[in-house]
A and B are shown apart, each in its own frame.
Chain A
């Protein structure tokens, strides 16, 4: 009588249990709670430190914050921006693809924080990137700001102009 080939233990069963079965190892619950609590404490600390920094370095009487946003951005692929205040370069920013994507999705970047005395100031932004048809593109926008006492927020906005199929660059002050 020939021997019948037989596996005493069904090996694929072991494999399947290992791959799909649930594990009895679970993460430490109390440690997870400790991490949650620590994260919250560090978040709170960051919030307070940023506020402290702002109050210390940029008092509300002289504070100016410049933001940048994109609306659609089909005719312009942003590479970098240079910001000048009263003819003095205050920031040069080179964007990563991740940051540009975040702007495309509706995010607004805080580009610059500084202080200004009350009175007139000229703000110039120079945008570089790829324009329509992938050509190198460099454009500027300027704005004269009459700074009074109190914090001032300015938005640099890149908007598609559908009629001219060109990007428009504008600067707007927020109340």
Chain B
């Protein structure tokens, strides 16, 4: 059968299109610098643009003292996610050139460099980089590195090395279903059919707890099913292909293969079941289009020539219709329909944006989006187009914001001028100096009390008043003649003075401590005031030149916004054209394929007529 010769192409193809999700490393959740946490906040929302901006700001403002190396590594990873491969490459190279970089960081840098080369399609360079990942590393890095390494070896066709690498780590804790899948494919490609089938069969039977795993399971079953078909085992092929979900994205290919497995067993009647189901599906899918030819082929094999003729005619009609739709889609794209649709979409952050395109599949420009999206170049082109649209919006926002900065600056300047006389008065005034002198006098007095032990300096205002009264009384008594009454009064005055002195001495230490405390507070207040005066002085000197500097910065940034807006507009137009070019090329290829199908169908139709005539002649009745 002709299709059997093509199964190697299918298996190779499955490998090319199957890029197991490479586990991205999760940065540490506990942050030691708030601004690093802020970068993570944007990163976890897949908002790479703002993550990069925040990280660059935090780095410039020296707000990342505890995450310096991590931040550098993260910036490289973010640049890579945002499509800045060249910048990411420089960062990782720089990290590797630094002597102080630790092993763990080096490993991650080599891993990312390998990823960059892989994205650029430079497999030898990617392999050179990934082979430098060694020694102890985090489980996430280990798994991601093995995953990428095995993929690279498979891309290079070095199946044996891929098997050795994967079998070496199979028993470890880093093993994942993706690695099992890669091992299965490597074994089959290395002509170790049975062992490879065992691996794929294992994946094909796993419980898919999420869509990613369910898709992997479908892929494994599809690859294994076609592999069995290639090795002449249609029964196993049929069973394996039956495990592919009927509503999954790979179901059309599975139905096509299932039909061929039945046909291989000469069970043409059975093969009609999956093919008829397939033929009722979306006719933009090449597998569906192929079923339009496969159905009458099976009918011919069953000697149902009349029905086969009908099916061929129906199929040709449908394919002609499909060709017209393709032409319509090409025209719609040429007229800007694709760009219009992309512009209508919400440009919210994250990768979900591309999946949302499926919602508008009725529009001619996006009718073949599934085929288009399977092309890596087209996906990248859409991503860049979307990024450019976001840049455009960003620039429009800044253009509006910066216009208000002039007003804000003018407002600040006006406020400064308003407060300037008062500030200058404060600066010229001697109030602080006088206060500082008073403080010095007080400090000296407290020092005297400490040295001499003269507690009277620690009297509170009430006590001081009492003390003064007693002193006055004593003076008055001194001027009066001595007599018993005066003696009684003098005794009383001395007793009260004694009580006061006693109170003062018994409280001496706490009072002295309290006075010292007050003095210390006073010193702090005076220092703060001095600091304030200094700041005011500095502000008074700096502000005029500061306003000028702001003026200049605002003017230069306005000019940059204008320049970048023009650049973004022109690049967006170029990228839009590139996108259309890629889409039209893809659709033209589909047109060529549909044309080939139509020719084949017509040819087969003619042959079917001949067979029918020949059969009728053999039976002696010509209709």
- Chain A residue nearest to B385 in the complex (CB): A35
Evaluate contact between B38 and A110: CB separation under 8 angstroms.
Answer: yes
Interface centre among A26, A48, A153 (most CB of B within 10 A): A48
- Among listed B141-149, B474-482, B503-511, B588-596, interface-contacting one: B588-596
Question: Is B60 interfacial (CB 8 A cutoff)?
Answer: yes
Q: CA A46 – CA B388 in complex, angstroms?
A: 15
| Contacts A16-B9, A35-B384, A35-B387 given; does A108 touch B293 at CB 8 Å | no
Question: Is B414 interfacial (CB 8 A cutoff)?
Answer: no
- Among listed B167-175, B329-337, B429-437, B557-565, interface-contacting one: B557-565
| Contacts A26-B377, A57-B408 given; does A31 touch B34 at CB 8 Å | no
Evaluate contact between B557 and A49: CB separation under 8 angstroms.
Answer: yes
| Contacts A102-B40, A102-B45 given; does A149 touch B297 at CB 8 Å | no
Q: Which of A10, A19, A31, A34 contacts B3 (CB 8 A)?
A: A10
Q: CA A130 – CA B413 in complex, angstroms?
A: 47
In the assembled complex, the CB of A160 is this many whole angstroms from the nearest CB of chain B, namely 13
Question: Is A101 interfacial (CB 8 A cutoff)?
Answer: yes
- Among listed B23-31, B196-204, B207-215, interface-contacting one: B23-31
Interface centre among A8, A23, A149 (most CB of B within 10 A): A23
Q: Which of B17, B41, B53, B590 contacts A20 (CB 8 A)?
A: B17
Q: Which chain A residues border B290 with CB–CB below 8 Å?
A: 11-12, 15
In the assembled complex, the CB of A116 is this many whole angstroms from the nearest CB of chain B, namely 15
| Contacts A18-B593, A56-B408 given; does A13 touch B5 at CB 8 Å | yes
Evaluate contact between A20 and B16: CB separation under 8 angstroms.
Answer: yes
Q: Which residues of A20-54 are within 8 A (CB) of B?
A: 20-23, 25-28, 31-36, 38-53
Evaluate contact between B578 and A27: CB separation under 8 angstroms.
Answer: yes
Q: Which chain A residues border B85 with CB–CB below 8 Å?
A: 36
Q: Which chain A residues border B3 with CB–CB below 8 Å?
A: 10, 12-13, 16
Q: Which chain A residues border B13 with CB–CB below 8 Å?
A: 16, 19-21
Evaluate contact between B557 and A48: CB separation under 8 angstroms.
Answer: yes
Residue interface mask A100-138, B partner, CB < 8 A = 1: 011101111110000000000000000000000000000
Question: Is B345 interfacial (CB 8 A cutoff)?
Answer: no
Evaluate contact between B557 and A155: CB separation under 8 angstroms.
Answer: no
Q: CA A155 – CA B32 in complex, angstroms?
A: 12
- Residue total for B at the interface (Cβ-Cβ under 8 A): 106
Evaluate contact between A42 and B26: CB separation under 8 angstroms.
Answer: no
Evaluate contact between B34 and A42: CB separation under 8 angstroms.
Answer: no
Evaluate contact between A47 and B53: CB separation under 8 angstroms.
Answer: yes
Evaluate contact between B535 and A61: CB separation under 8 angstroms.
Answer: yes
Evaluate contact between A10 and B2: CB separation under 8 angstroms.
Answer: yes
Evaluate contact between B394 and A42: CB separation under 8 angstroms.
Answer: yes
Q: Which of A32, A105, A149, A174 contacts B384 (CB 8 A)?
A: A32
Evaluate contact between B6 and A28: CB separation under 8 angstroms.
Answer: no
Question: Is B20 interfacial (CB 8 A cutoff)?
Answer: no
Evaluate contact between B568 and A42: CB separation under 8 angstroms.
Answer: yes
Q: Which chain A residues border B571 with CB–CB below 8 Å?
A: 31, 34-35, 38
Q: Which of A28, A34, A109 contacts B38 (CB 8 A)?
A: A109
Question: Is B545 interfacial (CB 8 A cutoff)?
Answer: no
Residue interface mask B258-302, A partner, CB < 8 A = 1: 001000000000000000000000000011011001000100110
Q: CA A2 – CA B614 in complex, angstroms?
A: 7
In the assembled complex, the CB of A113 is this many whole angstroms from the nearest CB of chain B, namely 12
Question: Is A98 interfacial (CB 8 A cutoff)?
Answer: yes
Evaluate contact between B10 and A20: CB separation under 8 angstroms.
Answer: yes
Q: Which residues of A42-75 are within 8 A (CB) of B?
A: 42-53, 55-57, 61, 67, 69
Question: Is A165 interfacial (CB 8 A cutoff)?
Answer: no
Q: Which of A11, A27, A34, A41 contacts B377 (CB 8 A)?
A: A27
| Given A45-B398, A47-B60, 9 further pairs, Cβ under 8 A | A5-B607, A10-B3, A11-B290, A15-B286, A20-B17, A38-B567, A39-B82, A48-B553, A102-B44
